[in-house]
């Protein structure tokens, strides 16, 4: 499995001074199907504690943050031509998504507000009534609606996403 991101996390040392506490690949990168790579880079619950040296991402990858929390993640999508649409049920099971979040194929909904940045490549965000092509540098604010990701190009596409719990 290819590591697709370096993660650097700061914190406080025993002397109370700032320092790097983690530097390297995330501890939880998974590849539930060839070329589809998920890494949760960090998770927080409010308020974050900068003196806590626990690796908040050292746990299984999951689709959504805990209630009131956030997840910073990187996802690399292979071209859609490399897999069939029926593979998504297994992918959603792997990342702990509730069966209600999957509306068929890769269409799904989360109880989050997501800030998504295309780091490399391009892909379509498919909505119920339209679809939009996103390219490198584009930003999408996904507000808890049904959506799917389709990489119709011939090259992988990598997204950076901040998922914010939208449950009160």
- Give the number of residues written for the chain: 168
In a domain, 94, yes or no: yes
Cα-Cα-Cα-Cα torsion 106, 119, 131, 103, nearest 10 degrees, comes to: 20
In a domain, 48, yes or no: yes
Closest CA to 144 of 163, 124, 117, 131: 163
Q: What is the pLDDT of residue 42?
A: 86
**Assessment of whether the complete model's pTM goes beyond 0.75:** yes
Q: What is the pLDDT of residue 81?
A: 92
In a domain, 18, yes or no: no
Find the domain containing 103 and state its range.
Answer: 31-165
Q: What is the pLDDT of residue 102?
A: 66
Q: What is the pLDDT of residue 151?
A: 95
User: Which CATH number do you get for residue 99?
Assistant: 2.60.120.10
> Quick check: helix, strand or coil at residue 148?
strand
Q: What is the pLDDT of residue 73?
A: 94
In a domain, 52, yes or no: yes
> Quick check: helix, strand or coil at residue 101?
helix
Q: What is the pLDDT of residue 41?
A: 86
Per-residue pLDDT of the chain (168 residues; tens, 9 = 90+): 555 677 878 777 788 777 778 888 888 889 998 888 988 888 877 666 667 778 888 999 988 898 889 999 999 999 999 988 788 788 888 887 766 666 667 788 888 889 999 999 999 998 888 889 999 988 898 888 888 899 999 999 999 999 999 876
């Amino acid at each position: 499995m290819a590591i697709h991101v370096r993660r650097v996390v700061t914190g406080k040392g025993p002397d109370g001074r700032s320092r790097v506490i983690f530097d390297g690949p995330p501890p939880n990168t998974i590849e539930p199907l060839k070329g589809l790579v998920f890494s949760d880079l960090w998770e927080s619950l409010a308020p974050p504690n900068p003196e806590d040296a626990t690796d908040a991402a050292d746990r299984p990858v999951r689709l959504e943050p805990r209630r009131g929390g956030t997840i910073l993640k990187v996802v690399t999508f292979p071209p859609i031509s490399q897999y069939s649409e029926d593979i998504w049920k297994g992918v959603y099971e792997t990342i702990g998504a509730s069966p209600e979040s999957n509306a068929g194929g890769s269409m799904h909904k989360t109880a989050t507000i997501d800030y998504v940045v295309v780091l490399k490549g391009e892909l379509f965000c498919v909505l119920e009534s339209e679809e939009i092509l996103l390219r490198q540098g584009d930003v999408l604010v996904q507000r808890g609606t049904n959506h799917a990701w389709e990489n119709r190009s011939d090259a992988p596409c990598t997204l950076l996403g901040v998922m914010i719990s939208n449950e009160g």
